[in-house]
Every structure is written in structure tokens, then in C-alpha cells.
Structure 1
Amino acid sequence: MKSLWNEEEALLYTDPVSMRAYTSRLLGQSEDLVLHGGGNTSVKHTKKDIFGEPVETLFVKGSGHDLRTIRENGFSPTRLELLKRLAALDSLSDIDMMRELKSAQLDPAAPAPSVEALLHAIIPFKYVDHTHADSVVAISNTPNGPELIRSIYGERALILDYEMPGFLLSKQVHQATKDLNWEHCEAIILLHHGVFTFDDDAKRSYEKMIAIVSEAEDFLKAQKAWDAPVAKNGNCEVDAVELAGLRKAVMDKKGGPLVARFSSDRFVELPDLELATRGPITPDHVLHTKRIAMVCTGDHKADVEAYAQEYEAYFERNKEDDLVCLDKAPRWAVWKGKGRFVFAPNGKRLRVISDIIDHTTKAIQWGEVLGGWRALSEKEIFDLEYWELEQAKLKRKKAAGELEGTVALVTGAASGIGRATVNELLSAGACVVGVDLCDSVKDLATTPSYVGLVCDVRDSEAIKETLKSAVLHFGGVDILVSNAGIFPPSQKIEDLSDADWDLSMQVNLNAHFYLLRSAIPYLKHGHNPSVVFIGSKNVRAPGPGVSSYSVAKAGLNQLARVATMELAPYGIRVNSLHPDAVFDTGIWTDEVLEGRAAKYSMTVEDYKRRNLLKKPVSSDEVATAVRIFAGGSLSSSTGAHLSIDGGNERTV
């Protein structure tokens, strides 16, 4: 492992807290050290209170902040002496500890201090760094792990057995370090958990961490374990409809929507996939991945039921007091020769779990070379999963978005109604696949809940491949928004060429048929599946000069009506929106606007306000209607046709 310290960059940070934030970000840049909020850091510094009096303060990473991106405001300033006194108590519940930590804060607006704040407080150095280094923890997760760790570090590191984070861990370290000669101690290694390094200099504390972890990596290399993990991307393939069916089985057990992701991981080509059922790298990963993976056989319903029964038995074996069992659905699965699958409530968590499993499968294979992967005991992992602090977090969890866990696919997504719909569905919590002929569709959003795919919707084979890619990325399709379209220049029928007629039919009718036909197998496995067609006012009130557009939209209307009847037995709803006067879309070029206004002997401005309400309709208004039809509010509505046109005297 290489140090990322940059002397020139470090000169920019002139106070201890900004320097602490800088070296924390250096740690956070390596996923082999910390993943998605893991690890924590601190600095001890004197801060003046409101009376101008100096207060010895521990600035410790705040809850909810990520070392990869943390800034000064991500640290919680707490009274150091109070933390030391708390650590010296004989007993303290973790709930009481968190209350005392909150009361010790010097800034009530700061994030809650890390649960390991007491441990940071009792280490007598200015800077303290803590990571969950894969290599160190993986070595400890083997039959002879403690002995191997001691053989690597000797007396240079204080090596401690696993203890629950929080007060118990700080108490363990407090007791173990009473007679410790700190000057001869380079690190504290917590078996099955991670590494602490410390120094009065930020650079030295950071580089001690790099050195300690590098020694573990060198050991793995010497044992021929480092190169043992098979490549992440193998030749595994899974039928996308099969994945949608697997997701459906998991959702049914969860009792709500989940997104899913397929990975072509050669881990599933190993002889014994029972390896995936031996436990996580570190216990805190159980909060994301659950204790073990589900091993698939191909009978999805039976596999999920077996997993759920085992989870319930695990809960019954280990529960205490009045604990309530969490949901029994798996968070990841392996299928021999097929691939690896991850399930999550939203796009962000999907990425988190996927990254954790990448590191887990690698570490498991290291452990196998060293004598066998042996994670912590079932009871110790259970205690972390059902820890009172984690249970309290669940109670404080923000309400999920209306569409969280669902997957939407939107065509014509790069502009206008399509783009507005992408944003609206993302804001409601959905994972969204944007599809468009324009490359800019890839860059509509940076959230892990979005992916943009380039596709010519006139190509039925391209549509099939696009749907497959979407399903492999997010697990299925629950919401299909068929929006792509063109509005051709105004032409009388006698002047209309075959090519112009055919182009309108291809984009405004055929493409919608291709999309629906190819999406139906996925929608059958969807959660509250819904199709929303973007039609037009022209279905009921066509105008002169737009025969090819009006005929295509009328055909689309009939397609929607027939689909409503055919798909209702599968619980798939089909509804249509008929906008008009939506001039903030790509189809309304200056040329088209001028041509349509001329047909009615109007100015462009008068043409824009020709409806009963005398107002244009925005793409956002149409997108809102899409969200309402796609969500649960109208779950009994199918075959509906809603005008969003400001009112038209020809159709009222």
C-alpha cells in the first residue's frame, strides 16, 4: 500500500482540524482501508469556549460522515476530559454513553460523535487513525489468525481479542493500556475488527497505518494468498428475465420493493460456494449484507424460503429480551456458474453492498489459503446486527421515498418531458434508467440511482439489449415510461413523402410497440408494475398538417387500450397521458412552432396560449402525472387517459 501524502497539498492545511480532515480523506481514498462510512479518525486540540476559556477538545469523526469526503464540519468537537472520565467507569450502557457523548459536545449543531469516541479519547496522542483494513482483518479471520497477526507485528502492536464497539471496547482498551509503554507501541490491532495508529504528527500517524497494512499485504504475498482471488469479471452469464424472477422472489419475502444487481464474478466458479455462508469480514458489514449469502439452486421461491427459515432460526437461537426480528430476505446471493447478485432498498445501498461484497469475496479467498475462512461467531455477529444503537438508528430512519426500491425506464430521457420525468422519479426514490439516442443521456444525474443508456428506439434488437442492460444493472423493470417521439414539420397529406411518413410511424408508434413487447417479461416480475405512454392531444383533436404524427399517436392510443386488457391479468397497469402545448421539449423547434402557428393564422405567442386556461404546460407538470400514475396512489387505475393540455374546447 502506497502513502498518498502530498507535501505541497499538505501545506494548505494550517490548523490541526483541517490537517485531520486532509489525512482522513487520504485514508478514505483506499477502499482496502475503509468502505462507505467505515473507520474513524480524531484530533485533540484546544478550543476556546464562549467565555474565551480554553477547553481540551476531541474532534472526532461525526456519525454519517465518510472519510473519503470528510471536511472540518464532519468532526464533532467534544470535551476531552469528560470522555476520559466516561471511559474509566465500571459500566455504562451504550444508550447512556451516546447521551453523554451528545451532552459533551461543544457544538450542538455538529454531527453526533462516533461510537468509538471514548477509545479515541484515551489514546494519549494528538492524532488517532482507525481503519478496517481488509488484509489485517482477513488474516485474523482464520483458524490461526491471532498467532499469524502476532508473528507479523510481534511486540510492536497491542493485539486484542474482538469486543463490541462502544463502551465495552473502550473499556477493554482502557484496561489493556494501563501499564502500556506507548512509545514502543506502533498500533492497536483489534482482531476481526481493524487497526488503530496514532502520533502527535498527522503525517506520521497516517503513514504508520500505511506501514502496518503494507506488512499484512506483504505477508499475504509471501503466503501466495495475495494473488489467489479469482478475477472479478468472469464469463458467467444469466438470463435477464431470470434475474428479474429472482428479484421478485426476494421482494415477496421482503414484503416490498428492492433493486438488484448482477455481477459476472468468477467467485461463483469456485468448487465450494458454502464459503459465502461463513460470515462477513467485519461484524459491522452485517448491517448491510446480513450474516451470510443465499446460495441459489434455480428454484427461486424455494431458495428464498430456505434462506428465510434459516434466518428466523438464527434469530431464535440468539435473541434476547424483546427484540423484533428484522426482515428475512437476503442481501446477496451466489449461483454456481451464473453469477453474484445483490439486493438493496435503493441505488445508494446497492452500490454500498456491491462494494462490500467485492471485498468480502476477495478476503474469503485469502483466508482459504491461510487455512480456511473463519469469521466471528454467529452470536457475536448477531449482537452487532441487533445492537441497541443500530436498532435506535432504524427507528430514526427517514421515511423512504414513495418509489424507493422500484426501477423505472424512461425513453426520450435526454430532454423535455423525458428529462423532467427522470428527475421526478429520482426525487421519489426510484432507480431510473434513462434511454435516448443522444449521448447526453449518460450524464443526466450522478447519483448511483441513475444510469443512462444510448439506444435508437427504432431498432427492436437494440431495445432488447437495452432492457437487458437495465435489468442486469438494477434488477428489473417496474415502471415503463414510453415517451420518445418526434414532431415532424407541418406538411399537407398530398406533400408528405413516404420517408417522412415512415419516420413518424417508426418513432411515434413502432418504437413504443418494440419497447412494450420486450419489457412485458420483466414487468410480469415487477413490483406494482406500471406502463405510462406519453400520447398527445392530437389523438382526440388532430390538426391540419400533422397527419403522420396524429395517425401514429392514434395508433399508440389503441396499442395502450389493447395492452390494458392483455396485461391486467398480470397486475400490470397501463395508462396514457395526453399533453399539449408543452413547449419546453426538444420537439418544439422554432421551425415547428412557426409552422404550427401559421396553420392557425396565429403568432407564436398566441399559439402557445391557445388552450382554455391560456397558459403553456410544462414538462414538470407531465412528469408529476407520470409519478402519480406510477406510484401507489392510483394502484387501481388502469386504462386511464388523462389530458394535460390546459383545456381544449374540442375535447372537453
Structure 2
Amino acid sequence: MRNRWNDAESGTSPLQECAYGSRLIGGEPTLVLHGGGNTSVKTTVRDVTGAETEVLYVKGSGHDLASIQPAGFAPLRLARLRELLTLDALSDEQMVNELRCALLDASAPDPSVETLLHAVLPHPAVQHSHADAILSLTNLPNGEDVVREVFGDDVVVFPYVMPGFDLAALGARLWAEQGRPDTLGLVLLNHGLFSFGADTREAYARHIDLITRAERYLEARVTPVDTSAAPALPPVPRTELAELRRRISEAAGAPVIVSRQTDAATAAFVSRPDLAEVSTRGPLTPDHVIRTKLAPMVGSDVAGYADAYREYFGRHHQRRGTELTQLDPAPRVVLDPRLGMLTVGRRAKDADIARDIYQHTMQVIAAAEQLGGYQPASEEHIFDLEYWDLEQAKLRRAGSPPPFAGEVALVTGAASGIGRACVKALLDAGASVVGWDVADAVTDAFSGPEYLGQRLDVTDEDAVSAALDAVVERFGGLDMVVPCAGVFRSGMPVAELDPAAWRQSMAINADSVATLYRLAHPLLAASPRGGRVVLIASKNVPAPGPGAAAYSASKAAVTQLSRVAALEWAQDGIRVNVVHPDAVFDTGLWTPEIIAQRAASYGMDVDAYKRRNLLHTEVSSATVGAVVARLCSPEFAATTGAQIPVDGGSDRVI
């Protein structure tokens, strides 16, 4: 592994150097993933009284090493931490309280649960990772022997102990027995590597050196998996994936995102004849259990997996001597020789975290099997971590899930105007959203794992079908559809109607929606909470105006189509409603020049023209988007077939 330290970028203070070294560690996916690992530095500062005070700056719990800044570290009085280490016992609750009481800054983040171990180690700088190479050595039946073979006396070796006071107490005893001034690091079996130094630069260099030694050991003894020989995974009907997502959601007690991976490395792993045996022994390190569960589900028997999880909980729930509430029994990783790997989460981000972790897990398992067999920490250790309140607190810090968490929405015409506003409203409510548009801008209209922008022509049925396949591969299914794509050709009286304009209006505004309804129906029927459709129609349906025959007729046709769908799809639990916007001036149809011209023709200024409705209110794209999101919410669970005007009030419509 390459040493990427650059003195010109590292900063000048011990804390700045620690943050810089942390980002170097966090930037290597083979070292830490998604909040894993922790780092610290010991230094001296003046407190508010001016007294010189020894301080331990340790990574704040929940912060990601890949992006951490100095403010992400918790400053603690080192003398107080050392006093705590003289105790015979300290409960988790007491430890958390004492760590917060030891902070120099009450607004600092909660210190890492491994803070006391950092305090035990006598070196000024400490870096800790869950390196793949180290886990490949320690998750073996003779892991300690292999570690000592690779590193000799340069490291001390600890058995796995759950983080917290017990690990720190063990660390104090074992360090007194094994530690020497020239010791470079500490290997915690089934968990990871700690390296030390007089400063972060030295601790980081030693970390990279130790990892490199482990990598060279593995390179000499492990044959890389030949992914080119793996059979390509076949396409899977999108309805099959949607139905599997529905069953997983039912087991989880809430809608979930299910994302499919079919890359060559995954294909090679799921084709192993011993897949069910090696993949279900446990995670690389117990810390991963809150993201991946004890083991993946091999195959598609969700009910069987849930039963097995309940039995696992029943075997261990009395271990900690307190009353525990069982977590949901749904899998977070699914492995199948035909499906590949599916990862599960309340949001796409969570499914992606499970994916990243298990991609590394597959590599470590493959290596360990060649070195004597993959043997992770015991089931008891994994259970203790899964139901450890301090670990669960990492998930609770994210707060309650938003209302549409785990649900998938599709919006057409998503690059601008009302369509874009609908995407934003649904994203803000927690949905994973797919945006379709002919404009290139749709692909990056929004960022983050919850958004998928697809450029396509909604009148191309093959493109629509292929796009739906991609939607289900990415998110697992479809819960909400908002057809918004449309074209408006005005200024043509019926007597002068252009046939091409008529057909274009019908093709985009009506025919494409009929195609989408037909293709999306099986997915909506498999929605865990029931499918929802909200059609963006127009005020021109109940109150058409002259010169807009093609637009008015096409919107009337698609409104009627949606009313019939409401009648037919109610038996599938799908509700279909229609929104009729009017005078929405922040869309591509309206330029400032056109608005000014229209206002002048009415003898009004622009502001008055925009509020030319009964309520004298301006109707924006965001107004329409908010109505669409609300119609998709549980508050409207008993409403289907409705047509709702969003126009500020029109006497012609009323």
C-alpha cells in the first residue's frame, strides 16, 4: 500500500495532522468503510483558566474518517480518562456519561466507544482501521499464529473483546505484558489494526508499512479469484425482483430499497459450490453486523430467513442480563447464484453501505478459505455487538426515517418545471426518486444515492421498458408514478390544426402515459404500501381555452385514462389521482418576456397577472410538487379517482 502523506497538506498542529492522517486512512476502502475505524492524538492545551492540560483528541462517534475535519474530534481531559481506567468495572451507560463529562467542549461530538483504549496506549498518535488484509489473517482458525508469523514482535496481539471499558481494561493488562518501546502496532483479532507513533505522520507510516507486510504475505499464498471464468448473471424479470422486495419489506415491517449487483466478482462468489456454507459464518468484524446482519440470506426464502433470525435472537437474548427488543428479522444482504447479490436498506444509501461492506467481505472470505478457512468472531460476540446499545445509538443518531423512506417514485418530465419540483418534494420526503426526461440535464438534476436520472424519450416503448428494468435493478421496485412530461402547442384554432402537432401532443401527453401505466402496473401492484399514481394534467381539462385544442384534448384523454385506471386498479391497492395546475409561471413554457406581454394584454403588472385567480395567490412549481407528495402520503390512503385543481381558484373550473 502506498504511503500518501504529503507534509505540504498535513497542517501544522497535532490535531490538524491527525485529521489529515485520518482522511488518508478513510480514503482507502480496503482500510475502512462508512464510518469505521478511529484515530486520536494526545497533546497539551491551555484550558479556560490558562492551565496546561493534557488532552486526548479522538474521533467523534458517527464521523467518517474519509471526510473528517478537526471539529469532528472530541477533546477529553486525559487525566480523567486515566482515572477511569483504575476502576474495576464501568457500565456502558456510566462510560458514556463519564466520557462526556471529561470533554473540554460541551458542544463536541460524542467520543468514540474505543476512547479508553486510545487513552491506554502510551503513544501520542494512534490510528485504527479494519483493513481487509488484516482481517484476512485474523479471521482464521489459527489467526493469532499467522499474525505473529507475519509481524513477529513488532505488534502485540489481543483476542477479540467488544469495544468499551472491558477492551480498555484488557488492553492495559496485555500492553503491560507485551508492549515495548519499539512496538509498532496492535492487532485485535477479528477486528483490525492499531498503529502508534510520536506523531500522526509516524503512526500513519507504520500503519501503511504493517498493511503492506500483510498484503505481501497474502500475495505469496493466495491465488486471486479468476472473475473472467465466472458465468455472467442472467437478466431477471423486474416483477420477480419487485415481488422479492415486497416480501423483504413485509419481514422488515416497512418498505425497503433493494439494490442488485451483478459484477464479475459477485458472479464469481455466488457461483461457489460452498456459497451457503462459507457466506453464513458471520461478518468480517462484529461491527459490520448493524449493516449486514449476522449472515446473508442465501436464496429467496424470506420467511425461512426470518424464522432463523428469530431463533438466533432466542438463543442469545438473555446474554446481557437486560430485556432486549428483537430487531426486524429481514436480511440486509441476499446472495443467489442467479440473482447475484441484493443489498437492502431503509434508504438507498443504507443498501449501498451494505453493498460496499459485503463486496469486501467476499474478497476476504475467498482469501481466508485458501489460508485454512474463514472463521470470524463467534455468534455470541456478533450478537452482543448487534444488540449493544452504544452501537445501536449510531443508527439512532440519524433520527426517525422520513415518511417515504424505502419507497421509490418515478417522475417523467423531471429536468425542469413542475416535474423537477415533484422530484424535489418526493426526495425531501425521503423517497428514492427516478427522473425521466429527453433533456440531458435530467441525469444530474439532483445528486446523491437516492436519485437516478435517466435520459429517454417517453414515447419509445423499448426505452421505457429498459429504463424500468434499470429502476428495479437500482431500487428494487416502484411505488409512485408521476407522469409530468408533456408538450404544449398553442395558437392553433381547430380549423387550422396541424396534424403533426395533434399527433405529437397525443403521443407525448396521452399515448406515452398509457404505455407507462401498462408497463408499471405489475410493479405498482407489488408495492409494499400500495402503488400510487398522480397524473399532472391541466386546468384545460375542466376549462379549455381557444387555440389549445391538441393540448386540451390530449390532457382530457389522459385524465379519462387515469379515471379508468383508478376503477380497475383499486383491487390491486393502487390509487390514481389527478392534479390540474394552471398559471404556473416558473416553468420552461413561460419566459419573462412572454409573461410581461400577457400581463400587458390584461392591463396588469406582472405580479398582479401572476395572481390573477380567486385567491390572489401565486402558484409555483413547488406548490404543485407539494400537493403531489401529499397525495402520495398515507393521509390520502382513502382517496382515488380525485381531480384536484392547483390554480389559486378559477371561476371557470368551479
> TM-score, structure 1 length as denominator?
0.95
- CA spacing shift, 1:119–1:231, aligned 2, 3 Å: farther
Task: Give how far 1:448 is off.
Answer: 1.2
For residue 46 of structure 1, give the secondary structure of its aligned residue in structure 2. Answer: strand
Structure 1 match to 2:282: 279
- CA spacing shift, 1:226–1:211, aligned 2, 3 Å: farther
Cα pair 1:34 1:131 within 8 Å, conserved: yes
Structure 2 match to 1:269: 271
Could you tell me which runs of 5 or more consecutive residues in structure 1 were left unpaired when the two chains were aligned.
Answer: none
| 1:9 pairs with 2:23 | no
- CA spacing shift, 1:103–1:535, aligned 2, 3 Å: same
Cα pair 2:150 2:213 within 8 Å, conserved: yes
Q: Deviations over 1:45-67 (max 9, x none)?
A: 11211111111100000011000
Give the distance between the partners of 1:216 and 1:229, measured in 2 at CA: 23
Question: Quick one: which amino acid aligns to residue 45 of structure 1?
Answer: T
Structure 2 match to 1:133: 131
Task: Give how far 1:391 is off.
Answer: 4.4
Where in structure 2 are the equivalents of 1:490-639 lying within 5 Å? 490-528=491-529, 529-589=531-591, 607-639=609-641
Give the distance between the partners of 1:388 and 1:554, measured in 2 at CA: 56
Mean Cα deviation higher: 490-499 or 407-416: 490-499
For residue 484 of structure 1, give the secondary structure of its aligned residue in structure 2. Answer: coil
Give the distance between the partners of 2:611 and 2:58, measured in 1 at CA: 59
Structure 2 match to 1:192: 190
| 1:289 pairs with 2:292 | yes
Give the distance between the partners of 1:527 and 1:602, measured in 2 at CA: 50
Cα pair 1:217 1:226 within 8 Å, conserved: no
Cα pair 1:342 1:353 within 8 Å, conserved: yes
Mean Cα deviation higher: 622-631 or 437-446: 437-446
Cα pair 2:58 2:115 within 8 Å, conserved: yes
Give the distance between the partners of 1:226 and 1:491, measured in 2 at CA: 68
Give the distance between the partners of 2:604 and 2:569, measured in 1 at CA: 43
Give the distance between the partners of 1:37 and 1:374, measured in 2 at CA: 24
Structure 2 match to 1:252: 250
Match of 1:18 among 16, 19, 22: 16
Question: Quick one: which amino acid aligns to residue 647 of structure 1?
Answer: G
Q: Deviations over 1:405-461 (max 9, x none)?
A: 111111111111111111111111111111111111121222211111111111111
Give the distance between the partners of 1:455 and 1:594, measured in 2 at CA: 33
Give the distance between the partners of 1:90 and 1:231, measured in 2 at CA: 56
Question: Quick one: which amino acid aligns to residue 351 of structure 1?
Answer: D
Task: Give how far 1:527 is off.
Answer: 2.6
Give the distance between the partners of 1:276 and 1:496, measured in 2 at CA: 66
Q: Deviations over 1:200-239 (max 9, x none)?
A: 1221110111111111111111012444677999444322
Give the distance between the partners of 2:516 and 2:136, measured in 1 at CA: 47
For residue 186 of structure 2, give the secondary structure of its aligned residue in structure 1. Answer: strand
- CA spacing shift, 1:192–1:341, aligned 2, 3 Å: same
Cα pair 2:138 2:144 within 8 Å, conserved: yes
For residue 187 of structure 2, give the secondary structure of its aligned residue in structure 1. Answer: strand
- CA spacing shift, 1:338–1:395, aligned 2, 3 Å: closer
- CA spacing shift, 1:601–1:468, aligned 2, 3 Å: farther
Mean Cα deviation higher: 116-125 or 187-196: 116-125
For residue 510 of structure 1, give the secondary structure of its aligned residue in structure 2. Answer: helix
Give the superposed CA RMSD.
Answer: 1.9
Structure 1 match to 2:45: 47
Task: Give how far 1:597 is off.
Answer: 6.8
Give the distance between the partners of 2:501 and 2:614, measured in 1 at CA: 32
Give the distance between the partners of 2:586 and 2:228, measured in 1 at CA: 51
Give the distance between the partners of 2:21 and 2:128, measured in 1 at CA: 12
| 1:115 pairs with 2:113 | yes
Question: Quick one: which amino acid aligns to residue 557 of structure 1?
Answer: T
Q: Deviations over 1:11-59 (max 9, x none)?
A: xx11111111111100010010000000000011112111111111000
Question: Quick one: which amino acid aligns to residue 452 of structure 1?
Answer: G
Give the distance between the partners of 1:531 and 1:49, measured in 2 at CA: 60
Give the distance between the partners of 1:184 and 1:396, measured in 2 at CA: 40
For residue 577 of structure 1, give the secondary structure of its aligned residue in structure 2. Answer: strand
Mean Cα deviation higher: 495-504 or 285-294: 495-504
Structure 1 match to 2:362: 361
Cα pair 1:229 1:365 within 8 Å, conserved: no
Cα pair 2:241 2:477 within 8 Å, conserved: yes
| 1:458 pairs with 2:456 | no
- CA spacing shift, 1:234–1:113, aligned 2, 3 Å: farther
| 1:31 pairs with 2:29 | yes
Give the distance between the partners of 1:196 and 1:232, measured in 2 at CA: 36
Cα pair 2:60 2:73 within 8 Å, conserved: yes
Question: Quick one: which amino acid aligns to residue 251 of structure 1?
Answer: S
Give the distance between the partners of 1:215 and 1:396, measured in 2 at CA: 37
- CA spacing shift, 1:598–1:73, aligned 2, 3 Å: closer
Match of 2:313 among 307, 312, 315: 315
Q: Deviations over 1:216-270 (max 9, x none)?
A: 1111110124446779994443222111111001011111110110110212122
Task: Give how far 1:585 is off.
Answer: 1.1
Structure 1 match to 2:180: 182
Match of 1:65 among 60, 63, 66: 63
Structure 1 match to 2:345: 344
Give the distance between the partners of 1:520 and 1:432, measured in 2 at CA: 17
Structure 1 match to 2:217: 219
- CA spacing shift, 1:359–1:234, aligned 2, 3 Å: farther
| 1:206 pairs with 2:201 | no
